[in-house]
Amino acid sequence: MIEVSKTNLRGVLRIVPEVFRDHRGQFVETYSRELYKKSGIGFDFVQDDISRSKKDVLRGIHGDKETSKLVSCTYGKLFFVVVNCNEESSEFGKWQSFELSDENRMQIFVPPTYGIAYLVLSDEAVFTYKQSTYFVHGKQFSYRWDDPRFGINWPITNPILSERDKAGHYVR
């Protein structure tokens, strides 16, 4: 069973799967094509990716015009942000943040043209995501994490960044 709800961003969904807890720990089914399809998320995901990062690492804002994603944090805690990066949209720059963790098991469904970014809040975190298309180098867009057009309220002022995320660039 999963609970699916809309967010403040058109097409972006918040998903909370049922978590079974007992004295041994917890069990959660992270994806079932049939169950997600019945809930309105009927994509054939073709690629799964995992990113492991340490505290204060900030990755993103990245995305592309074709890929839907189903994201979660399987270990640790993240400050996760989704941004409307469609420059032709009247909602360009609108964003929403979520806390994703191995405790709440929340997932976020992100449609194409939205950028995603996250900051690691715990000592270490593992971010996982399913994609509806295969990754193609050079087809992604990137914006700086602190792009003033977005005004994201990050809970950090000096994150650990890659060279790509320091620069930010847009690929059309």
Tokens 């804002």, located at residue: 61
Task: Pick the catalytic residue from 114, 118, 129, 143.
Answer: 129
Please indicate whether residue 129 is annotated as part of the active site.
Answer: yes
CB atoms within 10 A of CB 140: 17
- State how far the Cα of 12 lies from the Cα of 69, in Å rounded to an integer: 10
Please indicate whether residue 170 is annotated as part of the active site.
Answer: no
Task: Pick the catalytic residue from 23, 62, 75, 134.
Answer: 62
User: In b/e form, how buried is each residue of 61-80, taking b as 16+ CB within 10 angstroms?
Assistant: bbbbeebbbbbbbbebbbbb
Give the active site residues: 62, 129
